[in-house]
Amino acid sequence: MTSDFTGKTALITGAGRGIGRAVALGLADTGAGLILLARSADQLAETQAMVLGRGAAAERVRIIPADLGDEEQRDRAAATALETARVDILVDNAATVEPLGATAAIPAEELRRAFELNVIAPTALTAAVLPGMLDAGWGRVVNVSSAIVARPAAMVRFNAYAATKAALEAHTVNLAAELLGTGVTVNAYRPGGVDTAMQAWIRRQDPERIGAAMHERFNLNFAEGTLVTPEQSAAALIAHLSGDDTGAIWDVSTAPVES
């Protein structure tokens, strides 16, 4: 199934680099208008320039710099996004892998910040765009998760990341059930090990902090070339979007075949 989202508008969080940027470029190729959101305005501008370089109309590509971990900025960003058009496709991709380290040493405030960005922000953005999707009888929400949810014990000292992504998946499946029959689908996506700044940041962490085993594993994955590119992962996500699946946990390795 070839994706054609001409006339639709997609809001992509974390669109300044990595998987979010690749999703933005891939969705631009399907004809969708784009709203690109992250904190770094310069990175968003780079993504915007890349999208325009692929022939997208300038008025169909907007950037909104905002910190999604800050409720006020997030609400303002959502209102700005909806000023000009309904959002038809929401890709909740921005997230933090922090705080890392021994769980007992993690201050509650840091844990709260992780939940704010990884769970509350996707939920709040969905709530903001949902009325428009329901009016239209069509919408796509994708929450970018992680394989850590399938094997939480495999990533010791990543407790906050495991807990937040598990919560995000539970939210996804529950909301999908609530919205059955409305035309709005809600799915989670596990992108695989992807060669991005987030992976590079983890590789740079002190082995004392993340444990020697995790440090070695992340560095080995990179050295052995087992990571996929952001473009490969984004293509797998986008391939799912035309279908009517809902409440599913998509995975980079189970992408439908594009024709």
Ligand X SMILES: NC(=O)c1ccc[n+]([C@@H]2O[C@H](COP(=O)([O-])OP(=O)(O)OC[C@H]3O[C@@H](n4cnc5c(N)ncnc54)[C@H](OP(=O)(O)O)[C@@H]3O)[C@@H](O)[C@H]2O)c1
- Whether the Cβ atoms of residue 19 and residue 194 lie closer than 8 Å to each other: yes
Spatial separation of the C-alpha atoms in residues 175 and 19, rounded to whole Å: 24
- For residue 37, give every residue at least 6 positions away whose Cβ sits within 8 Å of its Cβ, in sequence order, or none: 11, 12, 13, 14, 15, 44, 63, 64, 65, 66, 68, 77, 81, 94
Of residues 161, 189, 218, 250, which has the active-site annotation?
Answer: 161
- Of residues 204 through 243, those in contact with ligand X by CB under 6 A are none
Which of 102/197 has CB closer to ligand X? 197
Between 43 and 159, name the residue whose CB sits nearer to ligand X: 43
Q: How far apart are CA 170 and CA 157, in angstroms?
A: 22
Question: Contact between 69 and ligand X (CB under 6 A)?
Answer: yes
Contact status: 193 vs ligand X (CB under 6 A): yes
With CB under 6 A as the contact rule, which of the stretches 123-131, 169-177, 192-200, 205-213 interacts with ligand X?
A: 192-200
Q: How far apart are the first and last CA of the chain?
A: 5
Q: Is 75 in the site for ligand X (CB under 6 A)?
A: no
Site string for ligand X, 124-163 (x = CB under 6 A): --------------------x-x-----------------
* Cα 59 to Cα 245: distance, rounded to the nearest angstrom: 31
Report the candidate in 56, 17, 64 with the shortest Cα–Cα distance to residue 36.
64
Told to check if 191 binds ligand X by CB under 6 A, we report yes
Residue from 38, 133, 176, 179 in contact with ligand X (CB under 6 A): 38
Q: Based on CB atoms, which residue is closest to ligand X, 75 or 138?
A: 75
Distances, alpha carbon 33 to alpha carbons 21, 62, 86, 89, 139, in Å? 14, 8, 11, 10, 14
| Position of minimal CB gap to ligand X | 18
Supply 234's token pair. Answer: 């984004």
- Using the contact rule CB under 6 A, the part of the chain among 53-61, 82-90, 195-203, 207-215 near ligand X is 195-203
Is 101 or 122 the residue whose CB approaches ligand X more closely?
A: 122
Q: Which is nearer to ligand X, 3 or 143 (CB)?
A: 143
Distance CA 50, CA 55 (A): 9
Instruction: Say whether 161 is catalytic.
Output: yes
Return residues touching ligand X (CB under 6 A): 13-14, 16-20, 38-40, 43, 67-69, 93-96, 117, 144, 146, 191, 193-194, 196-199
Question: Active-site residue numbers?
Answer: 161
